[in-house]
Structure 1
Amino acid sequence: MPRSRKPSLTAAAGAEAQALATRMLAMQAEAGLTIAMRMPLLLKGALGDSSGQREATKAVVEKVSAVVESSVAATYATTAFWWSFALNPLAQADLTEAAAKVAHSTLEPFARRTRANAARLTGRRR
């Protein structure tokens, strides 16, 4: 009977995937809270209130800086993996672990900002 050649996830890769899923769920909750708390401020800014306009500017600047920082982090993590693979081609390369590291480094700037915004807009301390 032929055996399936479907690759199995290692325990470490499964743990990485679970940690990534947990991080995504936390970010979604914090982003939803941030959006709910920002909407009244943005509406006031649309009506001419300067604090609402500052909040809108802050939101746009944060997003642009998070995208740039995320791109740099993802590029760095990917480059580090490929350089280590190129310098030691006989080493056991775990692509799932490398992909998880790239995903974590890509999400970190966004996670940090959503966590800080949720805390700032709800008035709670971290």
Structure 2
Amino acid sequence: MKQDIARIQHAIDVARPPSIDKRQHTSIDRHHHTSIDHRMPASVDDNPPRPHTMKSQQNFYTMEEIDQLVEGIYRALETTEERLDGRCDDIYFPMDLNISALTSKIEAIQGELVEIQSYIARRPEASSSIDKPNKSTDIHH
């Protein structure tokens, strides 16, 4: 498939007219025209574009061949996308599972904390302060 793409690119490069940068242009500093009557004649394009240059090339492709090349390109893109998705999944999902496990543990601990708080609030011997019913164990007090 890479060879087919290279052949298509080569055919396009051959059909493309040469760049205007390759031509040697005379410097605008050479001509010091002071009058508009002494203008240079208009340039004529010696290489007009040829609409059917691809047909004259050896590497001409039929619509069927082009369709096959395009299908191959799309298959390669899909394969690359699937591999990228797989790599992202390998990175993301283990972290996601760890975060989910931690979230579940936090929720369980919060539930236990609510149970403990409600148990303490319902006890008859519960006091508003922990210092009132308990004697100090500090001997210097």
Return the TM-score normalized by structure 1: 0.31
Bigger Cα Rg: 2
Q: TM-score, normalised by structure 2?
A: 0.28
Which structure has the highest helix share of the two? 1
